[in-house]
Amino acid sequence: LRLEPYRLVYSCYASGMKTPKDIRRETGLNMVVIDTVLRIIRELEAICGGRQGSAQGVSEELFRVLIESYRELAIQKRNRYVPLYQLRKLVMEKAGISAHEFEVLLKSFVDRYRDRVSLVPTPQYAGGVKPIDLGGRKYGFIMMTPDLGSSNA
C-alpha cells in the first residue's frame, strides 16, 4: 500500500485546494485516486466534526452530544436503559452525522468509558427493539453510570 498519493492530495487539500481539478493540476494524479482520497478526508472530518478529537479520532463535542442525548432519553423514559436505536436517531439529528459515524462514535465512547457504560446484547428484533451491530454483536440498549450520564464526564 502506497501512501504517497494520499499525502499529496492531503497536502493540497490542507493548503486550500478543494476541487479535484485543482489538485489534479498540482499533482498529476488520476481523478479516481483524488476523488477517493477526498472522500476519505471528508468522512474523517465529519466524524471528528472538524475539531480536535480524542485519541480515537472522535471529538469531545460528539462525546458531549452523546452523553446529553442519553441523559435526555433516560429522563424521558424514566429508565437508565435507553434503546440504542433511539439514541442513534437523536444523536444523528443533533450532531448531523450518519449512522456509520454514530457507530464509530459509540465504539470510541465505549472503549474510552468501558467501566462506566454497559451495552446490553439483544437478539435481532427481540420485542420490537431494533439492535445495532457493533463489532459483530447486536446490542439493543445502553446504560451509563450516574456520574457519566449526569455530567459531562
Instruction: Tell me the pLDDT tens digit for each residue of 28-77.
Output: 998 998 888 888 887 776 666 554 334 345 678 889 999 999 999 999 99
Question: Where residue 151 falls among pLDDT bands split at 50, 70, 90?
Answer: very low
Contacts of 6 (CB under 8 A, 6+ apart): 37, 40
Instruction: Answer whether residue 150 shows pLDDT above 70.
Output: no
Contacts of 31 (CB under 8 A, 6+ apart): 20, 24
Q: Pick 12 or 87 by higher pLDDT.
A: 87
For residue 9, which phi and psi values (nearest 5 degrees)?
Answer: -65, -45
The three cell numbers of residue 116 are 462506566
Strand partners, 132: 139
Beta strands in 18-90 (DSSP E): 82-83
- Give residue 88's identity as a one-letter amino acid code: R
**Angle of CA points 74, 114, 104, to nearest 5°:** 80
Q: Pick 120 or 44 by higher pLDDT.
A: 120
Predicted TM-score (pTM) of the model is 0.60
- How much is the pLDDT for 70? 96
For residue 151, which phi and psi values (nearest 5 degrees)?
Answer: -145, 175
Q: Pick 135 or 28 by higher pLDDT.
A: 28
Closest-CA residue to 92 (of 25, 34, 29, 47): 47
**Angle of CA points 106, 37, 99, to nearest 5°:** 25
Largest CA distance in the chain: 59
- How much is the pLDDT for 90? 96
The per-residue pLDDT of the chain, averaged, comes to 82
- How much is the pLDDT for 16? 78
Alpha-helix residue ranges (DSSP H) falling in 78-98 = 84-95
First vs last C-alpha separation in the chain: 39
